[in-house]
Structure 1
Amino acid sequence: MKIAFFTETFLPKVDGIVTRLTKTVQHLVEAGDEVLIFCPEGAPSRYMGAEVVGVPAMPLPLYPELKLALPRPAVSEALERFAPDLVHVVNPAVLGLGGIWLAKTRGLPLVASYHTHLPKYLEHYGMGMLEPLLWELLKAAHNQARLNLCTSTAMVDELAAKGIQHTALWQRGVDTELFRPELRSQGMRTRLHGGREDTGNLLLYIGRLSAEKQIERIRPVLEAMPQARLALVGDGPYRQQLERHFEGTATTFVGYLAGEELAAAYASGDAFLFPSSTETLGLVLLEAMAAGCPVVGANRGGIPDIVSDGENGCLYDPDDPTSLIRAVERLLGDPARRSELRQAARQEAERWGWAGATEQLRAYYRRVLGQRELQLVA
């Protein structure tokens, strides 16, 4: 198959969407497919055997990490040369809308996927009143597609309830060869502690430092548990506010890590905290579980698809201010139970490889292409 992706986010940005895309492209190419990627400029011209077309872009004022790329004639020309069998638009916004238009005007089968719960982000940026309008815009864009893929059952249900048609689940995936418990090390723990005493209660957050991640919810845990230490791995537009918020606490801002350093950080924590209640999936939770780090996540969105409370991690109620504290105390308070959760978390992660997720996606593509053939025959 020849697949053209339009995505609003790609390398060098680091987030769960980019991780899924890079792993998907790798496995598509290994399976013999040809891939063309349209994305904001800044990415390499080729990635894992796929051609990448960078489109000039400008940062979104409220969220400078997200760049908006405006389609231009060169995009249409590159698509024409590639002659794809199918177009896949990832999180359609600006460049993605161009991809939708190009697919529709050329009669190309269109698949869209939903990864970022943008309507729920609005309230964290003081624009909650725009949520109904954004849902209408998303519905208009996604309903151009023959198939709309979501990364959790909660998002499949929510999009369907909002009037978005032809929804289906695109299963999760994680690199269990990179993220593994064996990378736990005292050296990494020392780095994560930032010079503080190791009390055996190292809390870890890895991901983007942004308002919608609700990282500030972790501070009451530190206040309730004086022996706890917190390491925040990553960076983002909310870092300065978080530095002020966590001032006076045992918190280390580590910055970005990648590769085996990142995997070692996951493996070296005593508990991974993910307070966000706006996640469509929460890929970092799967990475933590693969590394054998017990997790605490919100009982909201896509997270319950990954975390089974008391079996492979702990869930907390984001509407209850004390629930996160109780969940962390429950996890850290029993070393034997924590060890059992580590093992169960790793076992759960081992069920979800990127190869399987990509083969499921290829089956979806074949189904959409089959629908096209039936329409042509009819």
Structure 2
Amino acid sequence: MIGGMEQQSFELIKGLSNHYKTHVIAYKNGKSKIMWFRHLKSDIQTTLKENPNIKLIHLNDGAMGIACLWLKKNTNIPVIVTYHGLDITFPLDIFQHKLIPKLSEFDGAICVSQSTQNECLQRGFNKDKTYTIKNGVDIRLGDIPFDRDIIAKLQNNYNIDVTGKHILVTVGRPVKRKGFSWFLKNVIPHLDSNICLLMIGPMKTEFPFFEKASQALPHSLSQKVQLMLGLASDAREVGEQLKLQKNVFHLGSLPYTDLLQVLSLADLFIMPNIRVEGDIEGFGLVALEASMRGTFVLASGIEGITDAVIDGENGYLLPSEDAPAWIDKIHELLSDKKRLKALSKRGEKFTRKNYSWELMVNNYKMVFDKYISMSKQSLSVTKER
């Protein structure tokens, strides 16, 4: 599976394999998720039995933490869980009041942003065992040359002529917190006519029965169901706005190579997130990818985005849902392309220096080594006794 969390997991496993002997239990796309979860406990037990020298267990999201609560009672091995955002803020009473306290009993918590760490601490996690390690980005993305053929490809494949246009780009699924429909309704109509927006990401035009049914539920319940199942809660409104806005084009999901070229083609990358109760943006990996492709970022200054986009360095942080601020800043930056080019180049250098996957892996290793060392010391004391 491909997404921010999956990419982070893949890079973490690959990087840590250079330092430790690692044993990976991961869901593989195409298989039954139900069957995978049914066999998860026995797979872990088998792995531990066959490899008695395992010194640490890492669970890469809160859902895995819940599925593996039994580990604390059945092993003496340190267990550390990584939290990404929604896996700590999911607004269900039983989750918040019954399960979160159990998650806080694991040996350590690693959060992908300061915002996610704050959410953990507010829920009673031990501050001395809760760490922030920012996600990284593949810095090699900045070394891939820009291919101007992407302009012709947009014309031929999507009937989009960007000649003489200023180009804004957004990337992501149309979920409410991304703020896409808000941006389409409140910002796009007030931008100059030579500014166009390209939207990239999965976009449904037909909704299955269950998804339609979830939207018919009371709002609070509907939101919980949509969050739990990862449904595109903003898709309908985005779809309606696409019919109304002549300078907005939705490209759907693109091949990764084309995505990178569109990011480089763009003048600005846009992350107009809004606050949604119980759902937060844990980080903002795609902003780093845009920055590595030499594109300056405009983002809402909320939640985990502020750990990926550093104001004045690789982007500007703007007030969430403040349409005049967004309109003015977009016009300001697009009116001086020389300045914007300099900002973009500086942003790429900043991201390259501060957000490599190698740096993320090294920070995880520091935490893991601390717990492995503590575990060895504990074992030594036990033997002496």
Question: What's the counterpart of residue 202 of structure 2?
Answer: 235
Report the aligned-residue RMSD.
2.7
- Asked if 1:23 corresponds to 2:25, the answer is no
Mark the CA change 1:325 to 1:37 in structure 2 (over 3 Å): closer, same or farther: farther
Please show how residues 112-191 of structure 1 align to structure 2 within 5 Å: 112-118=81-87, 130=92, 134-137=95-98, 139-165=100-126, 166-180=129-143, 182-183=145-146, 185-188=148-151, 191=154
SS in 1 for 2:299: strand
Mark the CA change 1:263 to 1:368 in structure 2 (over 3 Å): closer, same or farther: same
- Matches of 2:330 and 2:182, distance apart in 1: 12
Question: What's the counterpart of residue 42 of structure 1?
Answer: 29
Question: What's the counterpart of residue 262 of structure 1?
Answer: 259
TM-score between the two structures when normalised by the length of structure 2: 0.78
- Matches of 1:372 and 1:116, distance apart in 2: 28
Task: Kindly provide the CA deviation profile for residues 113-171 of structure 1, in whole angstroms up to 9, marking residues without a partner as x.
Answer: 1113356665xxxxxxx4x6543345324312221111122322332233122211113
SS in 1 for 2:25: strand
Check conservation: 2:78, 2:375, Cα contact below 8 A.
Answer: yes
Amino acid at match of 1:102: L
Check conservation: 1:100, 1:110, Cα contact below 8 A.
Answer: no
Question: What's the counterpart of residue 200 of structure 1?
Answer: 165
Largest Rg, 1 or 2: 2
Question: What's the counterpart of residue 208 of structure 2?
Answer: none
Check conservation: 2:311, 2:317, Cα contact below 8 A.
Answer: yes
Q: State which drifts further: 237-246 or 171-180.
A: 237-246
| Aligned residue pair count | 337
- Asked if 1:57 corresponds to 2:34, the answer is yes
Amino acid at match of 1:198: T
- Asked if 1:355 corresponds to 2:358, the answer is yes
Question: What's the counterpart of residue 312 of structure 1?
Answer: 314
Higher relative contact order (CA closer than 8 Å, sequence separation 6+): 2
Question: What's the counterpart of residue 209 of structure 2?
Answer: none
Q: Which runs of 5+ in 2 are unaligned?
A: 204-230, 275-279
Percentage identity across paired residues of the two chains: 20
Question: What's the counterpart of residue 9 of structure 1?
Answer: none
SS in 1 for 2:243: coil
* Structure with the larger helix share: 2
Question: What's the counterpart of residue 107 of structure 1?
Answer: 76
SS in 2 for 1:149: strand
- Matches of 1:35 and 1:75, distance apart in 2: 10
CA shift, 1:17, in A, is 0.6
- Matches of 1:16 and 1:158, distance apart in 2: 20
Q: Which runs of 5+ in 1 are unaligned?
A: 1-11, 44-53, 59-67, 123-129
- Matches of 2:103 and 2:332, distance apart in 1: 42
Amino acid at match of 1:228: I
CA shift, 1:204, in A, is 0.5
Question: Given the alignment, which residue of 205, 208, 212 partners 2:177?
Answer: 212
CA shift, 1:177, in A, is 0.7
Q: State which drifts further: 302-311 or 356-365.
A: 302-311
- Matches of 1:189 and 1:229, distance apart in 2: 16
Mark the CA change 1:146 to 1:121 in structure 2 (over 3 Å): closer, same or farther: closer
Check conservation: 1:139, 1:164, Cα contact below 8 A.
Answer: no
Mark the CA change 1:103 to 1:346 in structure 2 (over 3 Å): closer, same or farther: same
Check conservation: 1:272, 1:296, Cα contact below 8 A.
Answer: yes
* Structure with the larger strand share: 1
